[in-house]
């Protein structure tokens, strides 16, 4: 049976054209970033973990890391820079399913 860890985390968003990205949308796991699926997680969460965010009603797959993604922070991949900015910075309940 999977283990579920619930916590409140700071959630932001990024696009393939943000600083530090190569414009190709490749993640740390080597997969292509996909909106609604890809999420960057800190080293404390293993790549491949299922991340459920109840407020968004979506499951994401931990496939990316990021220089600023440390501690209690997650970064959702979005195609649109405007959508990423609209999400802003939010504190959300997150379920980490391992």
Taking only the tens place, the pLDDT of each residue in 21-53 is 666 778 889 999 999 999 999 999 999 999 999
What pLDDT is stored for residue 2 in this prediction? 85
Report CA-CA distances (Å) from 56 to 25, 82, 84: 22, 17, 14
C-alpha 48/C-alpha 86 separation (Å) is 27
Taking only the tens place, the pLDDT of each residue in 68-88 is 899 999 999 999 999 999 999
Q: Return the CATH architecture of domain 4-97.
A: Beta Barrel (2.40)
Domains of the chain by residue range? 4-97
CA atoms within 13 A on the CB side of 21: 20
């Amino acid at each position: 049976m999977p283990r579920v860890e619930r916590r409140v985390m700071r959630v932001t968003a990024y696009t393939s054209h943000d600083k530090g990205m190569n414009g190709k949308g490749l993640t740390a796991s080597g997969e292509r970033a996909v909106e609604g699926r890809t999420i960057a997680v800190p080293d404390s969460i293993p790549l491949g973990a299922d991340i459920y965010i109840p407020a968004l009603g979506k499951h994401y797959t931990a496939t990316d890391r990021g220089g600023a993604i440390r501690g209690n922070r997650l970064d959702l991949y979005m195609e649109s820079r405007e959508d990423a900015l609209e999400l802003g910075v939010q504190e959300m309940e997150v379920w980490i399913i391992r």
